[in-house]
Amino acid sequence: MLEKLVIEGQHPLKGTVEISGSKNAVLPILAATLLTEGTSIIENVPRLRDTLTMIALLRSLGKDVDFTKNTVTVGGNKPLKHIAEYKLVSTMRGSFCVLGPLLAKLKKAKVSLPGGCVIGVRPVDLHLKGLKSLGVKFEVDGGYVIGDGPRMKGCQIYLGGVFGSSVLATANLMMAATLIKGETVIDSAACEPEIYDLGCFLSKMGAQITGHGTPRIIIQGVKELKGAHYRIGPDRVEAGTYILLAAATKSTLTLKNADCSQLVALKDKLEEHGVELQCELQTIVVKPKFIRRPTSITTYPYPGFPTDLQAQFMALMANTPGVSVITDKVFPDRFIHIAELNRMGAQIRREGSIAVVEGVRVLHGAPVMASDLRASAALVIAGLAAKGKTEIHRVYHLERGYEGMEHKLQKIGAKITRVKE
């Protein structure tokens, strides 16, 4: 049965939020367990809809998976299946990263074209381009990508795309290159912390890999990999969301298990806006100042301002008097949330890949519809800052990327409840 969130806005928030493990890191790391028959133990795994989908996919491919508390154990020595079914891959784009490990391990794969959030066209051309360079032959039939790679070998690959590097394509290429002959060099690789995490996990498995987290990754193929014990790093997007939530509600919040070094672009823009971030070890303290200024942003691949925080930043600017300009260079069509924010009294208009925000002094609660994961978080932020009651429908999107969000918010004083439609 569908559920909705009901929020009473403008209640003071104060306290500490524990940041969960990174969703965008755990998905490719779980996929990487397909590269070995050994047992892998992965800690700090967030219990999310996307995590459960990936676990179900691994089980369908022949793995034994246990998920207890926040630890996933992957093992089993049954023969792997090479077909990743539509019913699982179509619901989550991140599951497409099983393509690389299946090709590396089995030299063949049949993977459904991916699904996920409706945030514009997100083609898989860079994935296929890179894997073709390694010697894979592809055909697309009936909504499936079918790869054949008995003669795969290392080479040099340029992975840049129209909108920059691709995180998932980089992950697929890294995993595919670990078990093939020769040296693979990935130029214009994604530099996101999630790629660094994946590289560290692959190294623990016995992969010969250097440069992960930089634009050039070098991999020397090995004959086999073993299981590994690894702890997932903090979710920088979840941390950024709570930072923006604190800013929008003028609340002083403390975030635990958060890495400020991964949020430099956000920190810079918030200081321009009028919010101080105090960073120490794995703790971030958010301190909004009295004066708030309209602030423009442009999203770029890491270490630029994250596209996954664009909607949440827009919710903040919608409630900041003055004009802000928000440009998305990563996903230029990622503006579905504009219409819903405008239902709450925001004054936002879209001009191509640009959104012009004329901030208002107060937003007003209204019934709104969540369209995707990060738009859902933006509506939560707007609802907490708004005057009156906000009802957010289709909140199952939130469960894809935010572990227990309403419970974390209730602990810091938010008036938020989940009810059946």
Query: Any idea how long the chain is?
Result: 421
Q: Per-residue b/e over 206-224, b at no fewer than 16 CB within 10 Å? A: bbebebbbebebbbebeee
Instruction: In whole angstroms, give the CA distance from residue 245 to residue 382.
Output: 8
In three-state secondary structure terms, 56 is helix
In three-state secondary structure terms, 339 is helix
Instruction: In whole angstroms, give the CA distance from residue 316 to residue 385.
Output: 9
Angle between helices 264-273 and 236-248 (to 10 degrees): 10
Cis status of the peptide bond prior to 303, with omega within 30 of 0: yes
Residue positions annotated with a catalytic role: 117
Angle between helices 310-318 and 373-385 (to 10 degrees): 20
H runs (alpha helix) in 61-135: 86-89, 99-106, 125-133
Instruction: In whole angstroms, give the CA distance from residue 186 to residue 174.
Output: 8
Choose among 58, 49, 71: nearest CA to 31.
58
